[in-house]
């Protein structure tokens, strides 16, 4: 390329370019100079304007140099020299004006100054044209280099086709008698050679300075490895690694060495031999040697087809998943927890004993609860069982959880109507209408109740007028802490018409007479559509002992089809309860003896050592205290081990925390992008009903956060393949598009390839995963303004929409219940030292 300006390297640079008498006067936009008409009367001001405009063009060059130098600093972290400026100038040279700059075959860096035999017009015709051309040459040279060196050029070329300045030619830079004179054309001065020559020599000097700066920048472009303090390198080919930042760690005058973050001595390294001008890549964990390669932006790697590409651009913003991978490269010292079996919902067949409530299995009084956490096996060794628990003064029992085998839709209990002869079970039945029925030698008239037994399922009509038989009672067995309790029923009518149900509820202690809790003097009203749930007024009763009792609900009269969906018991006696809980896991046992606040979720930790066994069954036993019912919402088992720390990493104990903070910033930046894309108006509102927040709101919020951050969260069973997100094969083979992937392989969703995989299964890759009870204290992603309102069991968010910025906070039990996402284990550090 012409005008590489190497010879300008000899110029001693000054640290600034003075404004002097520079004048834009259209220079920055039109690129022309004030014209001079040699046939007109001599006007020295026109010559003065031209020099001032040329001076301004030097400022444009200076601004362009600053622009490029800043980019060099950003890309290579090398403090490239740049002149200080005395005012703002747009760093783009306008296209050349052919009237001023007749190009062809000239030496662009020379200046034909006026002599004693020149006429005034020669200063415009030759000297100004040459000075104009020098400006052009400097800018074009710099722009070409920037275009070649940077992915995104700092400045735009003037001569894209290379017609004005050819791509080959002399590289010598003429100093053109440049001298800092700060001289100007003035009509008050004598009209002689120096009137024109001295200002032109000053302009030539300014050009020389810009050429010197440009030459130094070009040196960096020619061989950034001799200067760079940071490289952004992509190993492509067989590795498929993400681009990494390599930081300069040594420069001994013989070799310059960069190492990838975290800068451990055994990490990926790139070494530049100053003498040999070769690059060598040392790859971590591999013994194969990289043959030194002559320096270039792209060199062959260790393996066939592999290349080491130095990317000439500012390192792009990394996402949280990148920082997760980075965090995992340093293993700290201390106790290690490894996630294992997890039961996220206990109100299921996984629970036995205890009391099965609608939200979770529970122990309402000292009791035993057995939870089958997994059908898999548990390895021998120390484990931590973390229980997400909630002391609840509200006990919610599904209608179907009765002792009389009465089932119904949506987990409720539906009283059987029009029971046919031959269908009598072990229930209480009411005879309605007709002449009555005979069952097991007993005669029951309308309004009478008889109890079915296993002896016979058949009844007979007494007379010609047939009676109907329907279920009369359903019973539940449970135990509650002593004290005052209320009971409400959620009921509905399923078929037919009714205005209400005569319903009586009885509290039947084991050793006492039944006590009416809800009386049937007035029927429970029903006026809505069939299926609409109605909550009864509360009935009150006292529980004397924590022993088991029976609760009977009797449908004594009324038309329709009575369905009881849920029974709700509530106590206001105790705000705080004590829990003495022991857990058994295989051969291991542990104990927790703590106090609990009603409504407030918390996590009980049980550390124990067990032998290997299968299935994974956890037995919990509470004792002594019967103050508040305790729901066991989730169970999480982790194995306790010890990290094997990364060699020579003792100075990097804070690395994982650093990565957490970088991940947080990356997520916040992408959130801002999403906010910018959505705009404030129409931005989703995440809360429900005022400021309330639950796990559904969390999912909605996360889905917005990940709009601009595709690798945000891990999901085991994504509904579909989403373009831009990354997936890992969990069950092979997976076919996506025309490619087949094996277990552990990762691929990105592509719009044109579709949203489905045709076999196997995948999980979505991300830096955060659903928080589990064992993650308390770990970094957790939550929206700004989120709050757990103590004493009310409410999670609220105090900010709306765009203000719900994702932030990292220590995970708390209520965050687990609200479905927030915690940082993956690669980010974790030991809890204590």
Partner 1 sequence: MSLLTPNRFSRIVNIPITLAQTELRRSKSIRIGDWAVKLGQKLQVKCLTVHLVKVLTPGPLADYNNTALGMASVGVYFGPMMCSPLVYASAGNVGAFTVNPFTTYTFLSPGIYSVVLSNNTNNLDLSVVVTGSLKLYT
CB of 364 to partner 1, least distance (A): 18
> Quick one: 481 or 749, whose CB is closer to partner 1?
481
CB of 598 to partner 1, least distance (A): 9
Site for partner 1 in 674-703 (CB under 8 A): none
Does residue number 654 form part of the binding site for partner 1 (CB under 8 A)?
yes
Nearest to 208 by CA among 353, 35, 12, 382: 12
Does residue number 651 form part of the binding site for partner 1 (CB under 8 A)?
no
CB of 808 to partner 1, least distance (A): 7
Pick one of 78, 132, 459, 788: the residue that binds partner 1 (CB under 8 A).
788
- Identify the three-state secondary structure at position 524: strand
**What is residue 371's DSSP assignment?**
E
Does residue number 777 form part of the binding site for partner 1 (CB under 8 A)?
yes
Pick one of 254, 286, 544, 576: the residue that binds partner 1 (CB under 8 A).
576
CB of 784 to partner 1, least distance (A): 7
CB of 653 to partner 1, least distance (A): 4
Note whether 217 and 65 are within 8 A (CB): yes
> Quick one: 217 or 387, whose CB is closer to partner 1?
387
Does residue number 177 form part of the binding site for partner 1 (CB under 8 A)?
no
- CA gap 185, 48 in Å, rounded: 5
Does residue number 262 form part of the binding site for partner 1 (CB under 8 A)?
no
| Token code pair at residue 23 | 């004048």
CB of 659 to partner 1, least distance (A): 12
- CA gap 622, 583 in Å, rounded: 9
According to DSSP, the β-strands at 576-585 and 616-623 are: antiparallel
| Token code pair at residue 154 | 């700092």
Nearest to 760 by CA among 732, 737, 726: 732
CB of 484 to partner 1, least distance (A): 22
> Quick one: 259 or 808, whose CB is closer to partner 1?
808
CB of 374 to partner 1, least distance (A): 21
> Quick one: 757 or 811, whose CB is closer to partner 1?
811
Pick one of 203, 592, 757, 769: the residue that binds partner 1 (CB under 8 A).
592
Note whether 784 and 805 are within 8 A (CB): yes
Which region among 9-17, 93-101, 702-710, 778-786 touches partner 1 (by CB under 8 A)? 778-786
Task: Annotate each residue in 321-340 with x if it binds partner 1 (CB under 8 A) or - if it does not, as one string.
Answer: -----------x-x------
| Token code pair at residue 635 | 């169970």
Note whether 602 and 631 are within 8 A (CB): no
Is the C-alpha dihedral spanning 694, 697, 702, 705 positive or negative? negative
Pick one of 215, 489, 564, 606: the residue that binds partner 1 (CB under 8 A).
606
Angle subtended at Cα 42 by Cα 36 and Cα 46, rounded to the nearest 5 degrees: 45
According to DSSP, the β-strands at 500-509 and 576-585 are: unpaired
750: enclosing H helix or E strand? none
Does residue number 833 form part of the binding site for partner 1 (CB under 8 A)?
yes
Does residue number 648 form part of the binding site for partner 1 (CB under 8 A)?
no
The DSSP code sequence of 717-736 is S-SS--TT-EEEEEES-EEE
Site for partner 1 in 390-449 (CB under 8 A): 391
Contacts with 220 (C-beta within 8 Å, 6 or more apart), sequence order? 72, 76, 78, 80, 226, 227, 228
Does residue number 204 form part of the binding site for partner 1 (CB under 8 A)?
no
Task: Annotate each residue in 366-385 with x if it binds partner 1 (CB under 8 A) or - if it does not, as one string.
Answer: ------------------x-
What's the per-residue H, E or C state across 239-279?
CCCCCEEEEEEEECCCEEEEEECCCCCCCCEEEEECCCCEE
Bridge partner residues of 229 (DSSP): none
Does residue number 782 form part of the binding site for partner 1 (CB under 8 A)?
yes
- CA gap 279, 272 in Å, rounded: 5
Task: Tell me, by CB under 8 A, how many residues bind partner 1.
Answer: 50
CB of 773 to partner 1, least distance (A): 9
Binding site for partner 1 (CB under 8 A): 332, 334, 384, 386, 389, 391, 576, 590-597, 600, 602-608, 653-654, 656-657, 661, 776-777, 782, 784-788, 790, 798, 807-813, 829-833
């Amino acid at each position: 390329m012409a005008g590489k300006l190497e010879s300008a390297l000899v110029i001693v640079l000054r640290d600034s370019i003075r404004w002097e008498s520079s004048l834009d006067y259209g220079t920055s936009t039109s690129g022309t100079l004030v014209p001079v008409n040699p046939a007109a009367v001599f006007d020295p001001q026109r010559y003065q304007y031209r020099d001032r405009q040329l001076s301004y063009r030097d400022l444009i060059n200076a601004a362009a140099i600053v622009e490029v130098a800043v980019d060099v600093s950003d890309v290579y972290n090398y403090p490239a020299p740049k002149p200080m400026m005395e005012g703002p100038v747009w760093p783009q040279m306008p296209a050349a004006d052919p009237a001023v700059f007749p190009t062809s075959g000239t030496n662009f860096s020379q200046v034909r100054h006026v002599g004693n035999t020149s006429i005034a017009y020669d200063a415009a015709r030759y000297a100004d044209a040459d000075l104009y051309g020098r400006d052009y040459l400097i800018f074009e040279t710099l722009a070409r280099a920037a275009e070649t060196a940077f992915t995104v050029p700092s400045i735009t070329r003037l001569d894209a086709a290379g017609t004005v300045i050819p791509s080959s030619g002399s590289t010598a830079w003429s100093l053109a008698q440049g001298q800092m004179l700060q001289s100007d054309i003035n009509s008050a001065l004598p009209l002689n050679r120096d009137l024109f020559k001295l200002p032109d020599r000053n302009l030539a000097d300014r050009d020389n300075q810009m050429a010197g700066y440009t030459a130094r920048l070009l040196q960096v472009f020619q061989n950034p490895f001799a200067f760079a303090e940071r490289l952004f390198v992509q190993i492509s080919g067989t590795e498929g690694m993400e681009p990494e930042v390599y930081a300069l760690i040594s420069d001994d005058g013989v070799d310059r060495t960069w190492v990838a973050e975290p800068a451990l001595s055994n990490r990926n390294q790139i070494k530049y031999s100053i003498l040999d001008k070769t690059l060598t890549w040392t790859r971590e964990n591999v013994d194969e040697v990289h043959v030194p390669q002559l320096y270039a932006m792209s060199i062959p790697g260790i393996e066939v087809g592999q290349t080491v590409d130095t990317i000439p651009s500012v390192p792009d913003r990394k996402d949280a998943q990148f920082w997760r991978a980075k965090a995992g490269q340093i293993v700290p010292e201390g106790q290690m927890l490894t996630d294992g079996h997890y039961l996220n919902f206990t109100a299921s067949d996984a629970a036995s004993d205890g009391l099965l409530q609608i939200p979770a299995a529970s122990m309402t009084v000292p009791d035993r609860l057995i939870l089958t956490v997994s059908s898999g096996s548990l390895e021998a060794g120390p484990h931590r069982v973390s229980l997400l628990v909630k002391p609840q003064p509200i006990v919610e029992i599904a209608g179907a959880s009765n002792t009389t085998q009465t089932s119904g839709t949506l987990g409720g209990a539906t009283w059987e109507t029009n029971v046919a002869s031959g269908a009598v079970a072990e229930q209480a039945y009411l005879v309605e209408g007709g002449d009555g029925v005979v069952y097991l030698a007993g005669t029951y008239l309308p309004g009478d109740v008889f109890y079915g037994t296993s002896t016979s399922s058949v009844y007979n009509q007494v007379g010609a007028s047939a009676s109907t038989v329907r279920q009369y009672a359903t019973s539940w067995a449970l135990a509650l802490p002593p004290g005052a309790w209320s009971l409400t029923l959620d009921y509905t009518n399923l078929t037919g018409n009714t205005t209400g149900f005569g319903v009586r509820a009885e509290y039947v202690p084991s050793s006492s007479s039944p006590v009416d809790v809800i009386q049937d003097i007035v029927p429970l009203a029903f006026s809505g559509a069939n299926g609409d749930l109605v909550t009864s007024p509360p009935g009150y009763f006292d529980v004397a002992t924590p022993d088991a009792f029976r609760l009977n609900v009797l449908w004594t009269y009324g038309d329709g089809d009575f369905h009881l969906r849920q029974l709700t018991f509530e106590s206001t006696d105790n705000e705080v309860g004590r829990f003495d809980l022991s857990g058994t896991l295989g051969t291991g046992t542990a104990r927790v003896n703590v106090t609990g606040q009603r409504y407030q979720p918390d996590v009980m930790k049980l550390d124990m050592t067990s032998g290997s066994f299968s299935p994974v069954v956890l037995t919990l036993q509470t004792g002594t205290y019967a103050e508040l019912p305790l729901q066991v919402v989730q169970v999480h088992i982790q194995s306790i081990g010890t990290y094997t720390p990364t060699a020579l990493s003792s100075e990097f104990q804070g690395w994982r925390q650093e990565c957490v903070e970088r991940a947080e910033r990356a997520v916040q930046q992408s959130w801002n992008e999403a906010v910018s894309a959505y705009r404030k108006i129409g931005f989703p509102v995440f809360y429900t009903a005022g400021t309330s927040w639950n796990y559904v709101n969390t999912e909605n919020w996360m889905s917005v956060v990940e709009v601009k951050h595709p690798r945000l969260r891990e999901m085991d069973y994504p509904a579909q393949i989403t373009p831009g997100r990354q997936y890992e094969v969990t069950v092979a083979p997976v076919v996506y598009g025309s490619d087949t992937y094996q277990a552990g392989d990762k691929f990105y969703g592509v719009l044109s390839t579709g949203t489905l995989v045709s076999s196997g299964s995948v999980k979505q890759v991300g830096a955060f995963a659903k928080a589990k009870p064992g993650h308390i204290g770990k970094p957790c992603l939550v929206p700004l303004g989120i709050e757990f309102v103590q004493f009310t069991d409410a999670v609220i968010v105090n900010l709306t929409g765009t203000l719900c910025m994702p932030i990292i906070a220590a995970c708390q039990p209520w965050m687990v219940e609200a479905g927030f996402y915690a940082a993956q284990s690669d980010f974790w550090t030991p809890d204590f030292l």
